[in-house]
Amino acid sequence: MTSPTTTSASGPARAVSSVLLAVPAWITRLRTDPPPEPLAQAGLMVISVALLGLGLVVGTRWLPPGVQIIPLLGGGLLLGRRSFGRLVFLVAVCLALSFVLEDGRYAPPGAALVVGFAGLVGYEFARSRDETGLGGLRGDSVLLELKRRLQLQGELPSLPDPYRAEAVVKPAGGGPFSGDFVVSAMTGHRFEVALVDVSGKGVEAGTRALLLSGALGGLLGAKAPQDYLPAANAYLVRQDWEEGFATAVHLTVDLLTGAYTLGSAGHPPAAHFDAGSGHWGLATAEGPALGLLHDVSYVLTTGTLRPGDALLLYTDGLVEVPGRDLSVGIDKLLGVAERLVTRGFEGGGEVLVKEAALDASDDRGLVLLWRSR
């Protein structure tokens, strides 16, 4: 009796397997380095004609005319409207030839409907590419770069002992983009941080946040504490955004003495933990939101961060729930913050966001700063 032997995969099977494994790499390359539009148009036209010829050889049972959606979807990702129009014309010709040469044996309405719908989807991609230059496979890469830049700008600098700080920003609904952002700077022994909440949600708020984070970050260290929010307001007013405004809280801390200055532009009141009394209290600073009025003034508050003390800055997404008074949300947040006193403030930012903001329908952001000794 001969022993069974394992036969290797046939040549065609290996070829198909190799092609399928290479598809993710092709998609990644198209995403980062798409071909020139004329070359892409020529390649997609060749594919359309090749699909027609192959369908006539193997029969519409195996390769129906509806496969013409393949070059159409590729054109939507890689071509502008004018080039896409040429591709649509060629696909229509190939589709008509397929029906004629097959003597109408393949029912045309279904295939025409599928290909027509694919053409509409592809056209929308092509239109976006023409209008923004970011359509197709490059669009998501640009959005991811936007997200990455906001995250990098939100990283706090390392503070010297005995100070520590954490910043946490969570987008609404677990989405990729947030209208809340943090900017910070170290100038000598002065630490500055601003927590900003931009109106809107999603990509629209994310693009505004990216623009503002660069501008407001550049003001840190360049303006005295009392001039920071007026300068930020003047910048936002100049943008003349329709329904575009922002709330912000700005904190300046002298790391030698612990003295701080706090300013607010329509923002919820910051919280100060006093280690001497063992309680959290609100550090109220007043002023209108950024971008609404010209020539506004802001009332600052001052204090001292002593050993064991902490400061908490947060956006309204952590404390605001529709139909509930804002003070109720603040009390709940401070109740969670009370528990941090015994466990330590390290990692407390994530704890506060997770336990205080059960409603994730709004962007949530906070900055937690504490002094260990």
Last residue within a domain, chosen from 135, 165, 191? 135
Q: Give me the pLDDT at residue 187, please.
A: 92
pLDDT category, 105, cuts 50, 70, 90? low
Say how many Å lie between the first and final Cα of the chain, rounded.
84
Are 166 and 372 contacting, i.e. CB atoms less than 8 angstroms apart?
A: no
236/117 same-domain check: no
Question: What is the 8-class DSSP label of residue 23?
Answer: H
- Residues 183 and 158 occupy one common structural domain: yes
Lowest mean pLDDT among 110-119, 136-145, 206-215, 301-310: 136-145
Rounded CA separation 138/24 (Å):
16
Rounded CA separation 245/362 (Å): 16
Q: Is the model's pLDDT at 77 over the cut of 50?
A: yes
Report the distance separating Cα 267 and Cα 319, nearest Å.
11
Based on the fold, state whether residues 121 and 36 are members of the same structural domain.
Answer: yes
The CATH number covering residue 168 comes to 3.60.40.10
Give the bridge partners for 8, in sequence order: none
Indicate if 18 and 110 belong to the same structural domain.
yes
Same domain, yes or no: 152 and 126: no
The pLDDT of residue 7 is 44
Q: 150 near 209, Cβ under 8 Å? A: yes
pLDDT tens profile 316-373? 989 987 777 888 889 999 999 999 998 999 999 999 999 987 677 788 999 999 999 8
Q: Could you tell me if residue 141 is inside a domain? A: no
Question: Does 223 share its domain with 105?
Answer: no
Domain with 289, as residue range(s), is: 146-371
Sign of the Cα pseudo-torsion (25, 26, 31, 34, in order): positive
Q: What is the DSSP string of 37-71?
A: HHHHHHHHHHHHHHHHHHHHHH-TTTS-GGGGHHH
**Mean pLDDT of the 192-199 span:** 94
Lookup result for tokens 């950024």: 290
Question: Is residue 154 located within the same domain as residue 288?
Answer: yes
Same domain for 199 and 131: no
Query: Does the residue 249 lie in any domain?
Result: yes
Per-residue pLDDT band at 301 (split at 50, 70, 90): very high
Which whole number is the average pLDDT over 88-100? 82
Domain membership flag for residue 325: yes
| 199 pLDDT above the threshold of 50 | yes
The total of structural domains in the chain comes to 2
The pLDDT, as a whole number, for residue 146 is 65
Give the C-alpha separation, 225 to 234, whole Å.
Answer: 15
